[in-house]
Amino acid sequence: MTDRWDIVIVGGGHNGLSAAFYLARAGLRTLVLERREMVGGACVTEEFAPGYRASPGAYVLSMLRGSIWRDLRLRERGLRVDQSGPSLNIYPDGQAFTLHGDRGQAADAIWPLSETDARAFPEYEALLGRIAMSLIPLLDRTAPDPRARNIRDLSALARLAPLALRRRRDIPDLAYLFTTSAKQFLDEHFQSEILKSALGWESISNTLAGPSTPGTAYNLLHEAASGGSGGGVGWGFVPGGMGVVTTLMAEAAREAGAIIRTGADVSRILIRDHRAAGAVLAGGEEIRATRIVSNADPKRTFLTLLDSTDLPPGFVAAVRAYRCEGASMKMNLAVSELPRLRDEHAGGMQPYHRGLIQITKPLSELDRDQEAARAGLPAELPHAELCIPTVHDPSLAPEGRHVVTIGVRSQPYRLGTGTWDDIREQAADRVITALGDVLPNLPGSVLHREVLTPLDLERRLALTGGHHLHGDMAPDQLFFLRPVRGFADYRTPLVGLYLCGAGTHPGGGVTGANGRNCATEVLRDVKGGR
Ligand SMILES: Cc1cc2nc3c(=O)[nH]c(=O)nc-3n(C[C@H](O)[C@H](O)[C@H](O)COP(=O)(O)OP(=O)(O)OC[C@H]3O[C@@H](n4cnc5c(N)ncnc54)[C@H](O)[C@@H]3O)c2cc1C
């Protein structure tokens, strides 16, 4: 250990690790302080019952940036992705619809729902693919600041010009997609309510907004941005679980020279003469550093690790107003057999076992669930999506057994009455019973379960409000507005303090981009003597 570090990173989530890699590789003495006994944050694999392993957070890899794969040599270190199967959508009246990743197969499956929609689908996919391609280059760099305060801002804006020129025909669609609701966008393209909810449910996955809330259409891009059309790796499951991603990232960071301390809970960021000067651990140990990079979310960083008197009042007000309340419950089930659809006669593995199984409903009903959630009422028969990671890697459970991972939506962090500690088990029972209507053998096959309400996610993973993405991803909290306007370049009002987690551009998901972009800005300041 050293008595003064060049860099201390608060948090060893995947973005903290990505930042650590780039900063250590540049020769800076870099220390990562992670409060848990393991690195990885919301991207880990943990044993939740004897012999059963799963992630309390991220379960599919879809957007890890190409530069992170390359620079950290993740493929050479052994990271693999097993492509997800098609997603099966099941509706309250028992109708089922499979959404295929392959465009031709998708159009064939849509045909029985609506011939018009089947004809419109390729054009819709192509449009989203084009918009995603326009945006993807922006993920890999600091969001350009429209205030053009200096030469760097000006040159970042100038670099955008050729891209905007090349893609100018898509600009109106892009602007529309960012401002309208998922429902309105889908209503414009399709007739079938089943197809619209199969495409649009994601608009509610990490927010209290409903599909009719303006600004939610942007979520429709997720698929296009992660699939082949967007240049990503597509949706996939990682053999060994998502923890393999962060274990290998930590290996790369250590090899580059970073030191990682786990069980190191930072209680306070030290400020001296208006600049960040170190971190104080919960036990009182003081660690000095020239620069501090926080991987914790914006609210945690600015409202709990710092004294608000050290920050401008307007900035504190903007951080308080930043929306960061989760609305999802996560469950991991240890089961004795694969769940099976009602009336399924064939035994063995079916294509839907390899993908997502969504128990869903029309967008108008999802709107009602979200409205109730905003009032503090968890949906009784919520949208839920299931996947079975053991189909992709049987070693995650004892032989012949499986893990079923479930995301349950419209479960607000803030309840109207009572606490999640009071209703956790009851809410989980209700979900499992409801799933039994569609997958009749599921309830009786459950051997163990792990239930993580938004409150549990906050307690266990230090996600303020239990928010999966360190804050809503909506047009007013994205790009040069994330986390708050004027501070989207990973810097903060305090000299020497930076933010590198999902609460910065380009937002949440396992991308590694936030950590890398932040490291680029820190290195600029080091070079410029700031
Ligand atoms: C239930 C759930 C499901 C998800 N599903 C997916 C998915 O399938 N695919 C996907 O791409 N993304 C998914 N996500 C989102 C994704 O996991 C996150 O956006 C991403 O992991 C955030 O990474 P991060 O490094 O920015 O922050 P985090 O992973 O939150 O890491 C922050 C780290 O900082 C540490 N920390 C915080 N405060 C302190 C402190 N005071 N002292 C020391 N350490 C501290 C935390 O312990 C944590 O390790 C999901 C998230 C959740 C919660």
Per-residue pLDDT tens for 77-127? 999 999 999 999 999 888 999 998 887 888 899 999 999 999 999 999 999
Q: Ligand 1: residues within 6 Å at CB? A: 10-16, 33-36, 41-43, 57-60, 62-63, 265-266, 295-296, 300, 305, 330, 457, 461-463, 468-469, 501-502, 508-510, 514
C-alpha to C-alpha distance for 35 and 376, rounded to whole angstroms = 30
Give pairs for 93-96: CB < 8 Å, separation 24+.
Answer: 94/342, 95/194, 96/341
| Span from the CA of 69 to the centroid of ligand 1 (angstroms) | 19
| Span from the CA of 55 to the centroid of ligand 1 (angstroms) | 11
What's the mean pLDDT in 483-508? Answer: 97
CB 223 within 8 A of CB 101: no
| Span from the CA of 41 to the centroid of ligand 1 (angstroms) | 4
**Reported confidence tier of residue 441, pLDDT bands at 50, 70, 90:** very high
Element (H or E) spanning 386, and its range? strand 384-387
By alpha-carbon position, which residue is closest to atom 6 of ligand 1? Answer: 58
Residue listed under structure tokens 């303020």: 464
What pLDDT was estimated at residue 229?
A: 33
| Span from the CA of 523 to the centroid of ligand 1 (angstroms) | 24
- Give yes or no for residue 57 having a pLDDT over 80: yes
Nearest ligand 1 atom, CA 264 = 43
Nearest ligand 1 atom, CA 503 = 26
Element (H or E) spanning 430, and its range? helix 420-438
Compute the Cα dihedral for 479, 485, 486, 491 and give only its sign. Answer: negative
| Span from the CA of 13 to the centroid of ligand 1 (angstroms) | 6
| Span from the CA of 356 to the centroid of ligand 1 (angstroms) | 21
Nearest ligand 1 atom, CA 62 = 11
pLDDT in tens, 339-385: 999 888 777 899 999 999 999 999 999 999 999 999 999 999 999 99
Cβ neighbours for 253, distance < 8 A, ≥ 6 positions apart: 17, 20, 21, 24, 30, 32, 72, 260
| Span from the CA of 456 to the centroid of ligand 1 (angstroms) | 13
Which among 259, 297, 227 has a CA at the least distance from the CA of 500?
A: 297
What pLDDT was estimated at residue 167?
A: 81
By alpha-carbon position, which residue is closest to atom 7 of ligand 1? Answer: 58
By alpha-carbon position, which residue is closest to atom 21 of ligand 1? Answer: 42
What's the mean pLDDT in 128-148? Answer: 89
The preferred substitution site among 9, 18, 510, 518 for testing ligand 1, maximizing ligand atoms within 8 Å of CB, is: 510
Q: What angle do CA 375, 381, 382 make, to 5 degrees?
A: 65
The preferred substitution site among 45, 295, 324, 392 for testing ligand 1, maximizing ligand atoms within 8 Å of CB, is: 295
Q: What is the reported pTM?
A: 0.96
User: In degrees rounded to 5, what are phi and psi of residue 61?
Assistant: -100, 125
What's the mean pLDDT in 225-236? Answer: 55
What pLDDT was estimated at residue 223?
A: 66
Mean pLDDT of the chain: 94
**Reported confidence tier of residue 230, pLDDT bands at 50, 70, 90:** very low
CB 529 within 8 A of CB 227: no
**pLDDT > 70 fraction of the chain, expressed in percent and rounded:** 97
| Helix ranges (DSSP H) in 294-419 | 298-299, 313-321, 363-374, 389-392
Per DSSP, the three-state class of 320 is helix
| Span from the CA of 364 to the centroid of ligand 1 (angstroms) | 31
By alpha-carbon position, which residue is closest to atom 15 of ligand 1? Answer: 509
What's the mean pLDDT in 245-250? Answer: 98
- Give yes or no for residue 232 having a pLDDT over 70: no
| Span from the CA of 143 to the centroid of ligand 1 (angstroms) | 21
Cβ burial of 447 (10 Å; 0-12, 13-18, 19+) is middle
The preferred substitution site among 9, 10, 15, 43 for testing ligand 1, maximizing ligand atoms within 8 Å of CB, is: 43
What pLDDT was estimated at residue 2?
A: 56
By alpha-carbon position, which residue is closest to atom 45 of ligand 1? Answer: 11
